[in-house]
Every structure is written in structure tokens, then in C-alpha cells.
Amino acid sequence: MKTSIAGFEVELARKRVKNLSVRIMPPAGEIRISAPYAMPETTIAAFLTEKRAWIEKSREKLTARAPIAPLTCSDGELVFVEGVARRLTVITAANGIKNADNAESPANGRSTAHGIADTADCNAGSGVAQETVKLGRLHVSLYPEKIVMSAPPGTDAALRRAALDKLLKVGLSKRLAERFPVFEELTGLHPTSVIIRDMHTRYGTCNTKTGRIAISLTLAAKPPVCVDYVILHELSHLRYPDHGALFKAHLDRYMPHWREVKKLLNSTPENTR
């Protein structure tokens, strides 16, 4: 619920948790609080007062950032994959879709009445697609320097985004499948399951009771080392539920430079909505 505590307008949620949690949410710096049912509001107010400088500094950083336009999956937009910007080429056709690697190029370079094909200028230097996915009549292919999307005319932005997310999820799934075993062997910690979720406020979560780890699809845009950090971070929660000294020491042991990687994670671009 919305309420005012210690001079702050906050979103307060009472939950079955042991500790008080305060998060500053982008883009406007909204304050979200999770608190135990039995915790007095005076305790929450005292905590906010103690952390006032940190809260105000965090909000200033968020509001000082230049606004980022949501990704609409339009022709020419930049899509970030593993920390690298790829130019999106969207090709439309009235009837059917052909594989971009095999179809002949239409004369106008963008659309054809009988099928969809990547054009000669698009293919130049692209090589073979690293990954291709289909969603209905949409095809999306990842190349070393770009992404090619074939879609019928009139396909709305939500469906184009769903197709792009499917491509990004495939790549992230492969990365997780490669790297989770590495860190599991290093730490001796093993989740019961790992899933990818469309989360916008956290890069990962760990349910310490079930051992289930969820990874945000947002990580598909980040450099590979950032994915490694999130994997280690969430695995570490299986042993240390909070972010205390023992948790940080555990990160230090297996990734001594994790603080620098965390800064990279929080500063590199994402595929916004």
C-alpha cells in the first residue's frame, strides 16, 4: 500500500519475512519496502531515517540518468546481446516467410509480396546465422553483427518483442547451461532448478527453502562475466540467505573482482520495455 513514513512516500508490503527490505526502483526512484507483519511502523521509520542519505543518493542517481526509450523492435534499433549492440533489421512480406539465409533478395531490399528474404546489403559480412527462432510466422536470426527479423506486415510491437525475447532466451539458456555447472563444482552448491523469468527489478532470485533459482531475461543483454556474477550470487544464497559479511566473503573467495563486475552489471545497457 502507498503510505508516508519518515517523510518518504513509499510502497509498503507486509509479508512473511524475517527482515526489513528497502529497494529504490527505476526509473523515478520509487521506494518499495517489504516488512514483517509484526514489525512496528516506528521501526521502519527509524530505519528509513538512518538510511536517509543512502536513499536520497540512490534516487538522485536514478533520476539523473538520461531516459531510455523502450525497445519497439523497429527496423534500425539497437539490441544488446552479451554486452554487444546489434542492429535490428526488420523485413516484411505480404505472404509467407522464407529463411533469410536461403531466400532470394527482393528488389527493394525490405519487402516482397511472396516471401521474406534478407537482402544482399544485409547479408554482407554477416555469415551464417548463429541462432534462429520462429514464433508463428515470425523468424528472428542472430548474426555476429546484427539481428534479422522477418515478419508479416502489420505485426504489432508486442509480437515482435515476444519473438526477439524468444531468441534472447535461447542464447541465455545456453549460457546458463554452460556456466552453472562450473560454479556448482567450484562452490559445492546445487540448485534444485533454474528458470528464466521476465523480471524487471532483479537480475536473479533464490528461494532458499526450495533451492529454486530464477534468472532475469534482462541478463541476455549483459556481458558474459555479469551472468557469471549473478550465477555465483544466487548460488551463494543457498548457503547464506542474507548479504552479510559471510556472504560477501563467499563471493570474494570465488570471484575476487565481483565488486567491479557488479558495477559493470548495473552500468551496461539493457533492452528496455
Q: What is the 3-state secondary structure (H, E, C) of 14-68?
A: EECCCCCEEEEECCCCEEEEEEECCCCHHHHHHHHHHCHHHHHHHHHHHHHCCCC
Would you say residue 143 has pLDDT above 70? yes
The model's pLDDT over 224-258, given as tens digits with 9 standing for 90+, comes to: 999 999 999 999 999 999 999 999 999 999 999 99
The DSSP annotation for 81-139 comes to: ETTEEEEEEEEEESS----TTTSPPPTTSSEESS-----HHHHTTT-S-SEEEEETTEE
Taken in order 160, 166, 168, 169, the sign of the CA dihedral is positive
Selected residue with higher pLDDT from 67 and 76? 76
Instruction: Provide mean pLDDT across the span 24-38.
Output: 85
Mean pLDDT of the chain: 85
Would you say residue 113 has pLDDT above 90? no
